[in-house]
Structure 1
Amino acid sequence: MVCVGSKAIRPKGSTINGLGDGALDDSSHKKRTRKDTSEKHGKGGHSSSKGPSVGKPRHVKDRKQRKDDGKKGKGRRKDHHSGSSVMVNPRTKNLNNQDAVPSSDTSKPVQNVLRKRVDPETAKYFMEISNLFDNKEIDFEERSTICANALEETRGKEHELATDAVISHTLQVLIEGCELEQLCTFLRNCIDYFSVIAVDKNGSHVAEAALKSLATHLEDEASRAMIEGILNKICKVIAVDAVTVMSSCYGSHVLRTLLCLCKGVPSDSLQDFHTTKRSSVLAERLSCGTNQSSRHVPKNFENGFSGMFRSFVREMLHNAKADIATLRVDKNSSLVLQTALKLSSGDDNELHHIISILLGYDEYKTVQTRDYSEKMDEIVTLLEESAYSHLLEVIVEVAPDELRNGMLARSLKGALFAISSHHCGNYVVQAFISSTKTSDQMNQIWEELGPNMKELLELGKTGVVASMLAACQRLETYRLEVFVYELFVFA
């Protein structure tokens, strides 16, 4: 029992679970890593935090009294809304794949969900919890008890609490400090609103914190069944509203974290799938000892759920297929699709399926038999879009050899210099060059770009030139002396 003044926090049950394994960050309720996520305390319709107890909120005890007050005109109207709402895209199709995430009642899309105001008593309660954590005078065991009891008080109010500008910070701390069982219970209770929470400015941080906390338990064999169960439910809900979630600047972060969790990416490596440093990418491309496709080969992902990951990606793309043309050129959704591709690296069958859909083909036809030349004009035009060029860059990097070679020979032949001259498209050409594995492939590239070295340097496309130099050295197609000679001749 933890005392604050003369009041105490008491567990609802007769026993309290053991200490949680999740990492606790005292400052996590004050820090937001994405844009426009900081809010001043005092907003959100809360009343003053002075004077409340930290035990059960009085609204639990005084429900009857408020009912009487309502009759006198003093109480608040039931289900008083703040007026804000979130539309979630209704998509109810299921995969034909028998291994797809099991269907359940949670697969029904939530539409036009109105966010309720947090009632004053609950707001006061969580403000006191926040003050306790700010105090930093409680030990780990007391903190665990507080997290357990406070999460119990969220039952039935998960949506409004997670999307509240102030309380969402506190909720993050509770999620990071609770036990796995309590975390899974919280997620099960808010599963119907998880998509809505994920695309909310404040709720997305709560959703992402919950997923990252799950990731810290992946190595515990005894916890895998519990984690797999809740992930199944989350994946089903997200897949139904895939277009809405991946197109949201907030939902995109959550969805990428969810994909990484399903694949088993270690918690300390999650950030690698949220940011890409151009300098490090170019450095790897200039490494003569390896080829580009090795950059995304999954390593140390043995703690993932491979079957669930594949089914989730397939169902997500199936439900988003009608909007794929828009999703390819949208920054937020492109990042999600890039993550799915990178995590699928090495799985040729799944890559054929994913790339087929992303390039606008019918996924039920065989990729190898298609004539990519019919897509050339479309691809070259779309490369003007930054989001699409980055997506195609990843496609080139991870595509199976036969598919990549077909794209190079049929889709982009004759257009390499034009694409290399573009501020976005040149990265795609760099990826093509770095992924070459035979001297014949390099010779085809040289025929188009070799005579244009001077123009590429004048345009500042040194990355393309450097990638060619590295590939020539790696494949010993043109030795360094020949490369330099050609460079000076055309200069």
Structure 2
Amino acid sequence: MNPGDLKNQDALPSSNTSKPVQNVLRKRVDPETAKYFMEISNLFDNKEIDLDERSTICANALEETRGKELELATDAVISHTLQVLVEGCELDQLCTFLRNCIGSFPVIAMDKNGSHVAEAALKSLATHLEDETSRIMIEEILNKICKVIAADAANVMSSCYGSHVLRTLLCLCKGVPLESLQDFHTTKRSAVLAERLSCGTNQSGGHGPKNFENGFSDMFKSFVREMLHNAKADIANLRVDKNSSLVLQTALKLSSGDDNELHHIISILLGYDDDDTVEKRDYSERKEEIVALLEESAYSHLLEVIVEVAPEELRNGMLVGALRGALFAISSHHCGNYVVQALISSAKTSDQMNQIWEELGPKIKELLELGKTGVVASILAACQRLETYRLESSQALSAALSSDSESPDSIVAHVLFLENYLRERSYWQWPRGTKMSVLGCLMLQSIFQYPHQYIRPYVASLLAMEDDQVLQISKDSGGCKVIMERLL
């Protein structure tokens, strides 16, 4: 295999448990074949071709790929034509093409050009999932693809191209609708946090259990297990590699709600050999390792998802064992703070919130000054959701953002323009025409859900505002929600 296919070749030792694809000598596409596919491309550019003609062209052209699938799929020019073919052909022709290139599929998936062909083929399969008569054929070909990918799992998931294809394959096995695929390829931090804090009800960052009707549940489970088994010797490196971490995060999100599978996956990701008593483990033995690894962006995002989807007893064990006494240090880190946000948003008991408040409550001001406003916003939302520490958190936020030289009535203004205020604290003035803080507005939405007796300074601050300031708030996308929350 081409060394360029690995993101971190030196750091990723070969595994004794995996069976990597052997080096493949790629032949150049012969001139006659190249000319043929150029003509096919020109035909597709002719907008006058009807559907029947197009289907016939796709069938004939795919027949011409037999025995040449690897070189055609990885060719910079012909790969584009091949994408059109797999998108426009009949299901049996698509399955025949995939069956013929099964042995080369991992190499194609890890190739800059071939990965687009692989993605197009998988998405084309997905369009037939609702047809009951087609499912047997799709399941048969997916099983073959899963087996060859699982055999070379460490290499495929470490490839920037292979990682993308593998995530699509996992989604296809699970039955994720095509229109939702993008959710597993991109992560918008602001959207994740907003969803966690919204109404204080969603505690899984959008990764709660979903009933995907058109998936192959047993195939998905066995694929994930086989993939992790074959990559187990490399797991320490895969956890800190960006591309493989994204694959592991996807497997976790898609397994949300299946406690048995989550115990198995998380056990391996945390470095344990078996998972029969994973919920009873003393996670303090992994504390130093986990906290140190949070310096790695890929690992911190992986642990964030683990915290979000983990079964309750496992999450509680991590909170008590691995993270006790380290929450502020982790919150202060540019990567680790997302793990703490997930942990706070996932808290379900007063005992969990007691530990969180004990470690972070007295540090509200420091967290704001460090720019970790997402952690503070998560605390406020959790206090409301669990109906605990609401007075204390309200007072802590007010104290953190108050100044002896300013009126107490300034508190709401300070939160509305949170980052702006923290940056210009000593000479801050209400900014005209400036967009209000997304996180500040989310904090105030949480605050204004608290019982009235806990938030009198905030209510007084809002009522003391000038008419033009209230008008500016009402015109802001976040500010208007604050006013609505207060009025409801």
Whether the TM-score (by the shorter chain) exceeds 0.5 is yes
Structure 1 residue 293 displacement after superposition: 2.7
Q: Deviations over 1:77-105 (max 9, x none)?
A: xxxxxx978889987859xxxxxxxxxxx
Q: 1:331 maps to which residue?
A: 242
Q: Does 1:148 find its partner at 2:54?
A: no
1:391 Cα deviation after fit: 0.1
* Maintained 8 Å contact 1:242/1:319: yes
Give how far 1:187 is off.
0.2
For the 8 Å contact 1:356–1:367, the answer to whether it is kept is: yes
Pick the aligned partner of 1:467 from 372, 378, 385: 378
Aligned residue in 1 for 2:110: 199
Q: Distance in 2 between matches of 1:291 and 1:415?
A: 25
Q: Which one of the candidate residues 345, 348, 353 is aligned to 2:264?
A: 353
CA separation in 1, counterparts of 2:330 and 2:381?
A: 19
Aligned CA RMSD, in angstroms, stands at 1.9
Aligned-partner Cα distance in 1 for 2:306–2:79: 37
SS, match of residue 206 in structure 2:
helix
Q: Once the 2 structures are TM-superposed, how far is the Cα of residue 355 of structure 1 from its aligned partner?
A: 0.2
Instruction: Confirm whether residue 287 of structure 1 aligns to residue 198 of structure 2.
Output: yes
Task: Tell me, in whole angstroms, the C-alpha distance in 2 between the residues paired with 1:292 and 1:392.
Answer: 15
Deviation at 1:434, TM superposition (A): 0.2
Superposition misfits of 4+ residues, deviation over 3 angstroms = 83-94, 488-491
- Does structure 2 retain, via aligned residues, the 8 Å contact 1:384–1:425? yes
Deviations 1:126-146 (A, max 9, x none): 001001111222111111111
Q: TM-score, normalised by structure 1?
A: 0.78
Q: How many angstroms apart in 2 are the aligned matches of 1:86 and 1:402?
A: 42
Secondary structure of 2:201's partner?
coil
**Aligned with 2:24 (options 100, 113, 136):** 113
Aligned to 2:397: 487
Query: Does 2:125 align with 1:214?
Result: yes
Q: Does 1:248 align with 2:159?
A: yes
* 1:395-406 matched pairs, under 5 angstroms: 395-406=306-317
Counterparts of 1:266 and 1:370 in 2: how far apart (Å)?
37
- Tell me how far apart the structure 2 counterparts of residues 272 and 241 of structure 1 sit (CA, whole Å): 25
Residue 425 (structure 1) shift? 0.4
Task: Please give the secondary structure, in 1, of the residue aligned with 2:25.
Answer: strand
Deviation (angstroms), 1:298 = 3.7
SS in 2 for 1:293: coil
Alignment TM-score, normalising by the size of structure 2: 0.78
> Higher mean Cα deviation, 385-394 or 481-490?
481-490
SS of 2:26's equivalent in the other structure is: strand
Residue 431 of structure 2 corresponds to which residue in structure 1? none
Query: Could you tell me which amino acid in structure 1 is paired with residue 137 of structure 2?
Result: M
Change (3 A) 1:300 1:349: closer
Correspondence 1:435-446 to 2 at 5 A? 435-446=346-357
Paired residues for 1:262-341 under 5 Å: 262-293=173-204, 295-341=206-252
Distance in 1, matches of 2:61 and 2:243, equals 34
Q: Percent identity?
A: 84
On the 8 A contact 1:86/1:113 being kept in 2, the answer is no
The aligned amino acid for 1:130 is: S
Higher helix share: 2
Give the secondary structure class of the aligned counterpart of 2:22.
coil
| Alpha-carbon spacing, 1:232–1:284, altered in 2? closer, same or farther (3 Å) | same
1:394 Cα deviation after fit: 0.1
**Paired position in structure 1 for 2:297:** 386
The question of 1:178 aligning with 2:84 is answered no
Q: In structure 2, do the counterparts of structure 1 residues 487 and 85 end up closer, same or farther at CA, with 3 Å as the change threshold?
A: closer
Counterpart Cα distance in 1 of 2:15 and 2:92: 31
How many corresponding residue pairs?
395
Q: Which structure ranks higher in relative contact order (CA pairs < 8 Å, sequence separation ≥ 6)? A: 1
Q: CA deviation at 1:478?
A: 2.1
Distance across 2 between alignment mates of 1:92 and 1:119:
38
Amino acid at match of 2:106: S
Report the Cα distance in structure 2 between the residues aligned to 1:459 and 1:416, rounded to whole angstroms. Answer: 14
CA distance in 1, matches of 2:16, 2:48: 50
Q: CA deviation at 1:455?
A: 0.7
